[in-house]
Amino acid sequence: MPETVLVVEDEPALQETLAYNLANSGYVVEIASDGRSGLDAARRIRPDLIILDVMLPELDGFEVARILRREMSSGILMLTARSDEVDRIVGLEVGADDYLTKPFSMRELLARVKAMLRRAQAIREDVAASHARAPHRKLEFDGLTIDITRMEVSLSGTPLKLRPKEYELLLFLAEHKGRMLSREFILERVWGWDFIGDSRTVDVHVRWLRQKIEADPANPRRIVTVRGGGYRFEG
């Protein structure tokens, strides 16, 4: 079944070019021209991937991404006309999975789309294989429970709402409890070797996780920073 890509872009020429190239690559393409209609379309079709411009009428791309990330796990690739590093970090903060600065080549965009969808499919296959191998798997650490079979996390019995990448990161750290893992190693193993980003992506997601699983996020005890190295999960 073809994967669905939602393009939320207000420039008619770019919108048409994206739609044409994505359709030619075998994807089912939906189009929206402003933030509010993009939000409505995403809720209606639940796309596999959303290409989301930052500068949009009605609602900007950051706000759309922030809302969608609370509601669904679709991949989000943000587009911006600015190369400001602050924009990139804000995009990651609100839940974008990747970021592309205009102008960009269509070949690069299609490569990003393919890589993001491939990673998502690999995760689904890993989960299915895990279910087939074992009836139920859990990791438990002093009140923190990671239910691998159900892909659920709870703290002292209270379910936690984690973004998909937060869950993957937490599970990866927990499976390597006590080991110092460099940011680069985490980025490669959790985001994939073909992810086009830098280690600050890891820092952002670790900060999100600490806010959800640490009693005092400013003085973390579960996910510890190793100076000059990376992170270590203590449980």
pLDDT in tens, 196-211: 566 788 888 999 999 9
User: Angle between the 200-213 and 85-93 helix axes, to the nearest 10 degrees?
Assistant: 30
The domains located in the chain, with CATH, are 4-123 (3.40.50.2300), 134-233 (1.10.10.10)
Tens digit of pLDDT for each residue in 15-61? 999 999 999 999 999 999 999 999 999 999 999 999 999 989 988 99
Cα 7–Cα 13–Cα 15 angle in degrees, nearest 5: 5
Side-chain-facing half-sphere of 151: CA atoms under 13 Å: 16
φ, ψ of residue 154 to 5 degrees: the values are -135, 155
Residues paired with residue 226 on neighbouring β-strands, in sequence order: 230
Give kind and range of the element (H or E) at residue 151. none
pLDDT at 218: 92
Contact (CB, 8 A) for 140 and 72: no
More confident call, 235 vs 143: 143
pLDDT tens column, 64-106: 998 888 788 788 999 987 666 556 666 677 778 888 888 899 9
SS3 string, 45-72, reads: HCCCEEEEECCCCCCCHHHHHHHHHHHC
- Report whether pLDDT(6) > 90: yes
108 falls in which pLDDT band (50, 70, 90)? Answer: very high
Is residue 96 within 8 A of residue 76, CB to CB? The reply is: yes
Residues, the chain, total? Answer: 235
Peptide bond before 103: cis, by omega within 30 degrees of 0? yes
The dihedral formed by the CA atoms of 80, 85, 90 and 93, expressed in degrees to the nearest 10: 120
| 225: pLDDT strictly greater than 60 | yes
* pLDDT, greater one: 174 or 122: 174
Question: What pLDDT, on a 0 to 100 scale, did the predictor assign at position 130?
Answer: 59
Which strands form 138-141's sheet, in the order they lie side by side?
A: 138-141, 144-147, 152-155, 158-160
Mean pLDDT for all residues in the chain: 86
